[in-house]
A and B are shown apart, each in its own frame.
Chain A
Amino acid sequence: MADHMEAIKNAVIGGKHAEIKALVTQALDAGLDPNTIISDALIAAMDVVGKDFGSGKIFVPEMLVAALTMKFGLDIVKPRLAGGQIQSRGTVIMATVKGDLHDIGKNLVSMMLEGAGFKVLDLGVDLSVEKLIEQVKAIQPDILGLSALLTTTMPEMQKVIGELKTQGLRDKVKVLVGGAPLDRAFAEKIGADGYGTNAAEAVELARRFTGVKA
């Protein structure tokens, strides 16, 4: 059992996308519990990947291939789960704020959150305050992740938080912000719940907000 789990974990960490399906199939055929494979091998591997990315040991391409490898593994496990659904660790809405078309950072965070077991709804770029509020009302996420690359669009984040307060939604959703020009002081100033300097930090914050243990 431990061999199967270790092999799956190492395949994800090493981005062995061509091997993962066979490894997961072998583990399932050997009688391993699908939920255990997800939590103790696939998600556990992405934890290592996130830490390696955060420490500069690996870079975006390696991280993305690991995330894709994990997804290939999940695709094999899913049909064996009761109801065919993975239990979500929380729902996150991700968006780049209005006036800003940059999405590389947001996409990386989305991918790492998915890898950590969160359900992510990526609304894309250039999202107005009104549209975001509408989506928060409709989806009722645990976390709202806002991204900005431009100093000129950063104030949009404050507008979103202000509108969440006005609409009585502020205590119903945690707001996580990130992007190159931001810093922790800005995040605190606008009343965000958290600020991540990279995708790995964003995952840690999301876990903290939803009470999920790493």
Chain B
Amino acid sequence: MNLKPDFNRFLAAVRHQETDRVPLSEILIDYSIQSQFLGRTVTAGDLPAQVEFWSQAGYDYIPITVSMMSPGKVTEESKITRVLKEMVLREKPGTTDPKAWNLEFTSFIHERPDLDKFPWEAAADIDFTKLHAVKDLLPPGMKVIAISGKIFTLTWMLMGFNNFALKLVMDESLVAEVFERVATIQFKALETLFAMEHVAGVWAVDDIAFGTGPMISPAAFRKHVFHWYQKVADRCHDHNRIFLMHSDGDLSVLMEDLIAMGLDGIQPIDPSCMDMAKVKKQWGDRICLIGNVSNELLRSATTQEIEARVKELLRDAAPGGGFALGSGNSVPNWAKFENYMAMRAAGLKYGGYPIKLKS
């Protein structure tokens, strides 16, 4: 099986075409997994090793985060956290608990006056260093997908979820303004991304649903969030880039909206609440589906069970293109390494086109 990176392979899948094989795809693979694969330690600062991992493991791109926040967590070293720390220490000198400037524990915009106190200018200073640095490390055929454009999650984290939800009804204009400021920052970053030829797409990692359905009403999403995504999609397509999105949860009632706004692919089709076969049947001809090997399986299943699940997914979702194989979220450090390898191996073994798996 051909392991050489070829972004055209991934692009073909996004465009519902069959090539040599189903592409492998993730938004994040923990460095501990990358280390075990390469047989040496891979760290956040070791970009050459990261490129080596993603290319040798059979991926056609490397995902690099350039957003205001890292996907799913606000790490201590992230730009926004440094900025918030400065602000907290300015207002409350002597604060020592890191939770005070960590968005996972503390929100900053509760009422209208907080909006102007927040250091937007500094927060908008997004670090593109890694993205520039990776250019000369990429092997032929390999591209970068920028993990960027989180709008919904960042807005509610800035406001605190309960406060955000209440204000969405009780002070809608405040919420709209936070959305706008966040989106404007993320939107501006796109122009820098588009100037880099090795960046072939944008992947917005932005959870918008619970396991039971959307976090806010579809109408509120349309009013406050989706028009921003539509603009991102339009700008991406104007610059010949793809636009993908990650969201956990049950997206069923939002799928038509996501497709209408021009999204090229959606990941991971949350296996805890969505059925890939049904999703493929209902929407799979209009949007590329990426994922959805359950993380619980990656944690606790046998390698045989992993292989069986991969075969099911390939059978149900791969024929005709429009599918890339990956985890049901990301590959965390608590996934069994042998299960990650089993998922990857089964994808490469049975994912050659034409798919020959039968039910």
Contact = CB atoms under 8 A, between A and B. Distances in A.
Interface of A: 15, 17, 56, 58-62, 64-65, 68, 101, 104-105, 107, 151-152, 180-181, 197-198
B212 interface: yes
Nearest to A15: B169
B170 A17 contact: yes
Given A101-B104, A181-B272, A60 B216 contact: yes
Most buried by B among A59, A105, A198: A59
A61 B295 contact: no
Interface stretch (B22-30, B159-167, B312-320, B342-350): B159-167
9 contacts: A56-B212, A62-B169, A64-B165, A65-B166, A101-B104, A105-B210, A107-B162, A151-B295, A152-B299
B166 A68 contact: yes
B166 A64 contact: yes
A64 B162 contact: yes
5 closest cross-chain pairs (CB), A and B:
A61-B165, A61-B168, A65-B169, A59-B217, A180-B211
A134 to B, nearest CB: 23
B214 A59 contact: yes
Q: How large is the interface on B (under 10, 10 to 19, 20 to 34, 35 or more residues)?
A: 20 to 34
Contacts of A151: 295-296, 299-300, 334
Most buried by A among B166, B215, B220, B248: B166
A105 B272 CA distance: 16
Contact of A198 (B170, B212, B253, B334): B212
B296 A61 contact: no
Contacts of A181: 272, 296
B212 A152 contact: no
Nearest to A66: B169
A55 B137 CA distance: 51
Given A152-B299, A180-B210, A181-B296, A61 B169 contact: yes
Interface in B317-357: 334
A56 B162 contact: no
Contacts of B104: 101
Contacts of B211: 180, 197
A101 B161 CA distance: 14
A152 B329 CA distance: 14
Nearest to A103: B161
A151 B211 CA distance: 14
A197 B272 CA distance: 12
Nearest to A62: B169
Contacts of A65: 165-166, 169-170
Contacts of B166: 61, 64-65, 68
Contacts of A59: 213-217, 220
Most buried by A among B169, B248, B295, B334: B169
A151 B212 CA distance: 17
Given A181-B272, A198-B212, A104 B161 contact: yes
A99 to B, nearest CB: 11
Contacts of B168: 61
B217 A58 contact: yes
B215 to A, nearest CB: 6
A61 to B, nearest CB: 4
A15 B161 CA distance: 18
